[in-house]
Amino acid sequence: MDCLESHPSLPMERHGRKRKKRLLNTIREQIEFYFSDANLRHDRFMRQLIGAEDPDLKGRQAVDLNEFLKFNKISEMTQNIRDISLALERSKCLSLDEKSDKVQRMEPFVTRDVNCDDLTIYVERLPPNADHHWIRSVFAPFGPIQYIKVPHFRHNNNIMGFAFIEFEDKVSAEKALKHFNALSSDDNQNSDQMDSNN
């Protein structure tokens, strides 16, 4: 009888485990992004944290996990250091120290002369609710995305309606640009036809 009574809670437990797994994956992806070459090219604060400018450290200085609780995106997901250390256990590019309270890059950070302009496209007229996740879902079909910058207004934190999307390679950026230029020219032709009909 006890076994039968405990069965209804099993789906709830499974659901809770799935949700926890999703949370840990999201935390890991976000912190891996902070340590990524693409982000480090733009983020002076992270470069300082990892000792990117120090020729001895080469960007491999360990960062205390407590530091990430000060980052808005991480603090919205968790206030628990244990969640962060659990998330990073599965990382293929970051490693935890013996106490699992600090993390560092596995590979040194090498400043490369990358022409970001060739890899980056500018998009505008974004919907007011567009965020990094939405932009990534729209543009990922054209190729791997390394960096997304969505400027916000300071007074209300609403997006300004445009973004910069940096792809991993020039071909992906050109594909995305070609596709959205074609859509834009179709819109212009349609509005020209509407004007001529009036």
Kindly report, residue by residue over 106-146, the tens digit of the pLDDT.
Answer: 999 877 666 778 889 999 889 998 988 899 899 999 999 98
Determine the average pLDDT of the residues in 86-91: 94
Going by C-alpha positions, the residue among 31, 30, 37 that lies closest to residue 107 is 37
- 165 - beta bridge partners? 121, 148
Looking at residue 181, its amino acid is N
Looking at residue 139, its amino acid is F
Contact predicate 27/79, CB 8 Å: no
pTM of the predicted model as reported, rounded to 2 decimal places: 0.69
Tens-place pLDDT, residues 149-172: 888 888 888 899 999 999 988 999
Contact predicate 33/39, CB 8 Å: yes
Tens-place pLDDT, residues 2-55: 444 445 555 667 777 889 999 999 999 999 999 998 889 889 999 999 998 888
Residue 196 has pLDDT above 90, yes or no: no
CA distance linking residue 110 with residue 91, whole number of Å? 20
Assign residue 66 a region: left if phi > 0, alpha if psi is -120 to 50, beta otherwise?
alpha
Domains detected in the chain? 19-105 (1.10.10.10), 117-187 (3.30.70.330)
